[in-house]
Chain A
């Protein structure tokens, strides 16, 4: 005999169970329509997989589980899907929710289904998936998806089957245990297999159900061949010992800590109805499409348990029981302690509907008016969770949520024992439910507010970033216009810009005489030129500074080249031995030749490095280095024309080299490559020449030859003179001088055009347009001047 613990508090309300256990579990005729809510469980609603007009068979999936905590929905009979629409659902809010409405065809034809007899050889995860798809949720009343509860992360050592059914009037589990104990025991074996055969398997039954106890005992005895490790425990009747945490405490003496799950203590608890449904799902392959529901109360002529198809409207259930609507003030789904009032008898029976209670007025008179709390403390004595209901009541009234949480409001199981014993008839549970709802809402709002804050901050940051980008762009544009204006001013012999440029030019020329900075050009352009020259120099310096490193690098190169030569030779030898094709042999030979050339080259370089290594300064190198710096400087200082000319010379050079190579070589493959390279070079040459011809003739080749310093100084003086002159001029004089300069430019351009025509040069057209432009400008200036005169 197992030791039984007690729970604190508890009450002994009139049981009222006798009236509904006289008759066996009955069946009902098919209703004219079935209403299947998508959310009959705790968690995410299932997703419909049928559309209106579809034919469905009994047991066919009509909605699939969506998310981890979810359960599927199945058609309870064969028929046609009428619609998927909002329909009142059993909920204290009396609100509507999405339901699949099926019109039965009366055939009640099963979909093809098949169970697993030898579940013992199956993987528990596979069985869990079947349970999940079979839509099994806790049938005791909470409706938590069974597959989630059966897949805990912690190891389980105790499995408890809850056959307590402590709430008055309800006898659904009692009748199930009496009539189908074999299925329950088989279901327990399946659960044990899924949970890895826990050490303790207990069935808890209150001592007011001796028939159920006997039936289960007999079933266990006949089933003992599979091991009689299942222990049947009965304990004194007391409300609410059927609560999960209370039952665990009664059977094991362990208290589930606040905010934790029983699984964290290694305990899993399931209702007998859930156990039987799991048996049917696994062994028979039948999903959850019906459940045992008690129909009771003095307003019903027949008090009985029925195996009700899920989705059957409550009205249909009552109509088959001689329901007298006039004598019934209110319909209750669930028991008198924890149930809720049904506003609409059209709502369907769902997975959690264990009882429909239709009491008469005498049986359940309207609640008397609440009186003020007199602090008698009877509620605290009755509370099975050892809370302080009267304190919670005060805090709930004043909406003091911090204190409510400090007094562990969330450990309240809403059993209603406190309200039952309250001499002032205060609806205490309603206060706790409201306060819980309010706290949950506040928490959700807090999460949403935090989310909004994040988004707002991100929004601000984004705006700032966009603003900064815009400002940067604006700044760049401003600078570009400024430099363009400066350049334009210089072209037009502007004053200030050219003064500034010349001063700068002279200063740079003074500091770095060796860098032949081009005299013309804006300061910005010059800066980049300087930078490039400096970088080239720095590279040259670096090259010079570390002869040891260079030497090491060269040696490494030689080593690598030698290695490559060896390996290619090896390959060639192998190839010859293997009688490879002539083509591949040729290729290998070419590779060997290539490697040899490279090696020779590297050795030559090293020798060169070694030769002047004795003295520190490397004349050849340094001359080359300064040469390269000069080359860069020269290149950058060159006008586009000069650059192009240089390019053409280089290309010509390259073509000559290639042609020479072509003449020397006889190898077919290399020959082809060289030829195509030669063609490319020629093409480039043609392009470059074309570009060169397209370029207008350099107006005034920069006086690079004259010493920079002099040029700069001359520019400064020129600019100063001009500035001085301009400052003294009247607007009219300014216009006139402008006209003069334009006229002189036009003359020059005409002269150039004439020479070009004489030489029959390519750029005659360009020069012509220039002349035309200048002429129009001159005319403009003349009209302006004329206007000024008037």
Chain B
């Protein structure tokens, strides 16, 4: 054995390397099959950050398709319902700088809205039912329809197809249950402050020089 290695060092080294390559190749090949990840995990992560209104304002038919598009390199600022919070979260996840919301796709609304059907005017055409991405509208042909408010995502996809314009997007009235404290107004910076009583002379900086 040693003799052969000593006599043919080149061949021995090659054999050893090829042998190692075969072994590791087999291990990697096995692992690739055995621990194969189904689907694209990054798409799931992105999807879980999107607001799931399924409104299509981003130009994709639903939140998941947009998540897939983002995974393929599309801009992350096309989701008005999610707003800046969602953009920041996406930027954080993908490790990219957070852009401003793209105004082309709409603006972030201040208050949450839900669809409301003026039931007297509903003619029972079922067009809104077909448009609703989350099956939040209840009704049958020639019967009055109504919106299950708790299921409505406020995507307003049902407003446009209504032939008699009896659907309104009403802002949710805040209740005691969902009221929350607001952040105090930000501490004004020392230099912008009008009252100078609290400022030591050396802090005045620019204004003193001027």
Q: Tell me the smallest distance from the CB of A347 to a CB of chain B, in Å.
A: 13
Chain B proximity of A709: nearest CB distance (Å): 56
Contact B134 A93 (CB under 8 A): no
CA distance A179 to B132 in the complex (A): 64
Cα–Cα distance between A371 and B134 once the two chains are bound (Å): 49
The answer to whether A475 has its CB under 8 Å from any CB of chain B is no
Nearest CB in chain A to that of B180: its residue: A437
Interface check B165, CB cutoff 8 A: no
Within 8 A of B (CB), among A430-474: 430-431, 433-438, 440-442, 444-445, 448-453, 455-456, 458-460, 462
16 residue pairs bridging A and B, Cβ less than 8 Å apart: A89-B176, A95-B176, A97-B176, A371-B198, A372-B189, A372-B190, A430-B181, A431-B184, A441-B180, A452-B153, A453-B52, A456-B62, A456-B133, A459-B132, A459-B133, A460-B62
- Which chain B residues border A458 with CB–CB below 8 Å? 135
Contacts known (A95-B176, A438-B180, A440-B180); A397 close to B198, Cβ less than 8 A:
no
Q: Given that A372-B190, A455-B136, A459-B135 are known contacts, is A437 also in contact with B181, CB under 8 Å in the complex?
A: yes
A612: Cβ under 8 A from any B Cβ: no
Interface size class of B (residues with CB under 8 A): 35 or more
Tell me the nearest residue of chain A to B186, going by C-beta.
A397
Q: A396-B183, A441-B178, A449-B51 are in contact. List 16 more A-B contacts (CB 8 A).
A: A369-B193, A372-B189, A433-B181, A434-B181, A435-B183, A436-B181, A440-B180, A444-B178, A449-B50, A450-B48, A452-B134, A452-B151, A455-B135, A455-B151, A456-B54, A459-B132
- Contact A434/B180 with A371-B187, A372-B190 known, Cβ cut-off 8 Å: yes
* A166 CB-CB contact with B under 8 Å: no
In this assembly, does B35 line the interface, its C-beta being within 8 Å of a C-beta of chain A? no
CB of B63 closer than 8 Å to a CB of A: yes
A92 contacts across to B, CB distance below 8 A: 181
**B29 interface residue, CB < 8 Å from A?**
no
Q: Is B2 an interface residue, CB under 8 A from the partner?
A: no
Asked if A426 is at the interface of the complex by the 8 Å CB criterion, the answer is yes
- In angstroms, Cα B183 to Cα A459, docked, is 39
Which residue of B has the minimal Cβ distance to A453?
B52
Are the CB atoms of B183 and A434 closer together than 8 Å?
yes
- The answer to whether B135 and A431 have CB atoms under 8 Å apart is no
Known: A95-B174, A372-B190, A426-B187. A456 touches B52 (CB 8 A): yes
The residue of chain A having its C-beta at the shortest distance from the C-beta of B182 within the complex is A434
| Interface status of A39 (Cβ within 8 A of chain B) | yes
Neighbouring B residues of A557 by C-beta, 8 Å: none
Chain A residues lying within 8 Å of B134, measured Cβ to Cβ, are: 452, 455-456, 459
Q: Which of B47, B153, B178, B184 contacts A430 (CB 8 A)?
A: B184
CB contact list, B194-210 vs A, under 8 A: 195, 198
Give the top 10 A-B pairs by smallest Cβ distance, nearest first. A437-B180, A433-B181, A449-B52, A452-B52, A455-B134, A93-B179, A434-B183, A434-B181, A453-B52, A430-B184
Q: Give the distance to chain A from B47, nearest Cβ to Cβ, in Å.
A: 7
B190 to chain A, nearest CB (A): 7
Contact of B57 with A by CB under 8 A? no
In the bound complex, do residue B178 and residue A93 qualify as a contact, i.e. CB atoms below 8 Å apart?
Answer: no
Chain B, 157-179, contact with A by CB distance < 8 Å: what is the 0/1 string?
00000000000000000111011
Q: How far is the CA of A397 from the CA of B52 in the complex (A)?
A: 27
Q: Mark B70-101, 1 if CB is under 8 A from A, else 0.
A: 00000000000000010000000000000000
Q: Please give me the residue from chain A that is nearest to B130 by CB atom.
A: A463
B176 touches A93 (CB 8 A): yes
Kindly list chain B residues whose C-beta atoms are within 8 Å of the C-beta of A436.
180-181
- A488 contacts B by Cβ under 8 Å: no
Complex Cα distance, B50 from A124, in Å, reads 49
Q: Which residues of A contact B180 (CB under 8 A)?
A: 433-434, 436-438, 440-441
The smallest C-beta distance from B61 to any residue of chain A, in angstroms, reads 9
A138 and B78 CA atoms in complex are apart in Å by 48
Q: Which one, B135, B151, B184, B193, contacts A427 given CB within 8 A?
A: B184
Interface residue ranges of A388-436 to B (CB < 8 Å)? 396-397, 426-427, 430-431, 433-436
Q: How far is the CB of A375 from chain B (nearest CB, A)?
A: 14
**Across-interface contacts of A91 in B (CB, < 8 A):** 176, 179
Interface residue? A370 (CB, 8 A): yes
Chain A CB within 10 Å — which of B47, B48, B133, B183 has the most? B183
Once the chains bind, are A430 and B133 in contact (CB under 8 Å)?
no
Q: Which residue of B lies closest to A414 (CB)?
A: B181
* Residue among B64, B153, B176 with max Cβ neighbours from chain A (10 Å): B176
In the complex, A581→B53 CA distance in Å? 80
B182: chain A residues at CB < 8 Å are 434
Q: With a CB–CB cut-off of 8 A, which chain B residues contact A437?
A: 180-181
CB-CB nearest in chain A for B150: A448
Minimum C-beta distance from A405 to chain B (A): 14
Interface string of B113-143 (1 = CB under 8 A from A): 0000000000000000000111110000000
Residues of B within 8 A of A95 (CB): 174-176, 179
Contacts of B187 in A (CB 8 A): 370-372, 426
B198 touches A369 (CB 8 A): yes
Contact of A39 among B176, B181, B193, B195 (CB under 8 A): B176
CA distance A434 to B181 in the complex (A): 5
